[in-house]
Each structure stands twice: as C-alpha cells, then as structure tokens.
Amino acid sequence: SAVISQKPSRDICQRGTSLTIQCQVDSQVTMMFWYRQQPGQSLTLIATANQGSEATYESGFVIDKFPISRPNLTFSTLTVSNMSPEDSSIYLCSVVAGGMRAQYFGPGTRLTVT
C-alpha cells in the first residue's frame, strides 16, 4: 500500500480565485490520479498525472480549469482555477501501488466556494 497526504484538508474560497491542492506519497509511484467527489455523489476522474509528461484529462475537464503538475514520483498538485460555487467538492488524489492494480487514496481536500 501507500501512505498519501493532502494539503489543505479543507478550505473556503471566494469565487473567481484559485486553489492549489498538494498530494504527497511516501513512496515513488508512476501513476497518480485526481478525482472529484461532488456533494452526495460518487467519484469522477479528473485526470491522470504521470511524471515527465502532460496530464491526461477526462472528458469534461480541461487543463485551463484544472492545471496539474507532477514534478517527481512522489508529489503532484492540482489547481482549481477561477472557482465558482459549482466547484465545491471533495478533491482526492490516488496512486497505484504495490503492483496489484489497486488504487490508494489520500484523505481528500474539502473545498467550499462562496
């Protein structure tokens, strides 16, 4: 498995501003993912972040809104840009670890946009 931390754990932001969420893993991993969980709903994949290459975004998510960095094999950031109340969600990062195809999740960042 892997131990994953996220910062901040929660934040309240004003519309029109941006927030950068950090994800730190205790071991080197190739594949990292960013998910969004809107209130009372399931998880939706935003993008896959691989070290040394551009992130791959899912349908409905664009780089200008959710820029992602992956500077090394243990760290990634997701920025939520020009926020609106509809961006209020839990944002989670995950990694594939242990060679068993299972994904392990961070504790999430709870974002409220007012």
Partner 1 sequence: AQSVTQLDSQVPVFEEAPVELRCNYSSSVSVYLFWYVQYPNQGLQLLLKYLSGSTLVKGINGFEAEFNKSQTSFHLRKPSVHISDTAEYFCAVTPLTGGGNKLTFGTGTQLKVEL
| Contacting positions for partner 1 (CB under 8 A) | 1, 4, 31, 33, 41-43, 45, 48, 56, 92, 94, 96, 100-108, 110
Phi and psi dihedrals of 54, rounded to 5? -65, 150
Shortest CB 14 distance to partner 1, Å: 23
Is 24 or 81 the residue whose CB approaches partner 1 more closely? 24
Is 67 or 108 the residue whose CB approaches partner 1 more closely? 108
Shortest CB 65 distance to partner 1, Å: 20
d(CA 11, CA 70): 22
14, 110 Cβ separation under 8 angstroms: no
Is 37 or 79 the residue whose CB approaches partner 1 more closely? 37
Is 41 or 84 the residue whose CB approaches partner 1 more closely? 41
Shortest CB 102 distance to partner 1, Å: 5
Shortest CB 22 distance to partner 1, Å: 15
Query: Which long-range contacts link 84-88 to residues 24+ away (Cβ below 8 Å)?
Result: 84/15, 84/113, 85/15, 85/113, 85/114, 86/113, 87/111, 87/113, 88/38, 88/39, 88/112, 88/113
